[in-house]
Amino acid sequence: MTAAATSPKSADQLRVAIIVPAYEEERAVGDVVRLITENLANATPIVINDGSRDRTADVARAAGARVATLPFNSGIGAAVQTGFQIAHDEGFDVAVQVDGDGQHPPAEVRKLLQAMVDTGANYVIGSRFLDDNDYRASFARRGGIRIFSRLVSGLIRQRVTDTTSGLRAADRHTIALFAEHYPHDYPEVEAIVLVRRAGLAIQEVPVQMQERQAGRSSITPLRSAYYMIKVGLAVLIQFMGRKPRRREVS
């Protein structure tokens, strides 16, 4: 069962929420917000400040974003989900998730929106590994990425090349699902399986990503082993567990 496309609107007519989770990103978040407002006229940047102790919230607000601040650091999953809850409450057509560290050029967001309109997919993932790309990752990282790609592709019976991409677009159905259910610790891989389990359609599109402007990746070599085991286990449990119930969206 696949929910129908959002509507036959064109990409420019959609009301788009851009969810920017940010934890201590005062150096990068301002530019991220400005790039969004300059390049995407129909988008509302919503920064979810995940209990930062620095000036992330002030910088984001000054740059013109709406800022929701979690009272304490709650993790990327909880932060992103807060964005989906706002998008759900306020009836946005699409919610796009963009990293707060400047890795995702807003121009690429338009590709996601266009793909959503064209294919009618409920969840569009920006992939660094489709077609030509100049994204370079370390050997170990590529290995890990490939393992998850195989695992997820096999489980959901659809090829997904970039399961850890943080650049995604969700339509109303997926927003409603995520407002209620969203994985916690390392949500990217799990979220894909969750969406498919809910009977929604997934589409990947090739995008270009930049090196992060500031801040560090949350995935250090030390945490990689934990990451692999935790996410692998979570994906399998997700797949075996109860199907998520999803409220119908008018």
State the nearest-atom distance from the C-beta of 169 to another protein, in Å. 21
Calpha distance 68→227 (Å, rounded): 28
Nearest alpha carbon to residue 162 among 122, 119, 206, 129: 129
68 vs 214, beta carbon nearer another protein? 68
Whether 187 contacts 84, CB under 8 Å = no
Residue 180, classed as helix, strand or coil, is helix
Q: Which is nearer to another protein, 20 or 48 (CB)?
A: 48
Q: Which is nearer to another protein, 18 or 201 (CB)?
A: 18
Q: Which two tokens stand for residue 156?
A: 């959901």
Q: Any idea which residue has 């969203």 for tokens? A: 182
Contact 80, 188 (CB under 8 A): no
- Residue 66 or 141: the one with the smaller Cβ distance to another protein is 66
One-letter amino acid for residue 225 of the chain = A
Please give the residue ranges that form the binding site for another protein (CB under 8 A).
Answer: 48, 66-72, 74, 78, 81-82, 85-86, 89, 184
Which residues make Cβ contacts (< 8 Å) with residue 6, sequence separation at least 6? 14, 93, 94, 116, 117, 120, 171, 172
The distance of closest approach from Cβ of residue 185 to another protein in the complex, given in angstroms and rounded to an integer, is: 12
Q: Which is nearer to another protein, 72 or 139 (CB)?
A: 72
CB of residue 116 to another protein, shortest distance in Å? 25
* Dist CA 185 CA 53 (whole Å): 20
What's the closest the beta carbon of residue 89 comes to another protein, in angstroms?
A: 7
Least separation in angstroms between CB 54 and another protein: 17
Least distance to another protein from the beta carbon of 227, Å?
20
For the chain, count helices (H), then strands (E).
8, 7
Between 15 and 212, CB nearer to another protein: 15
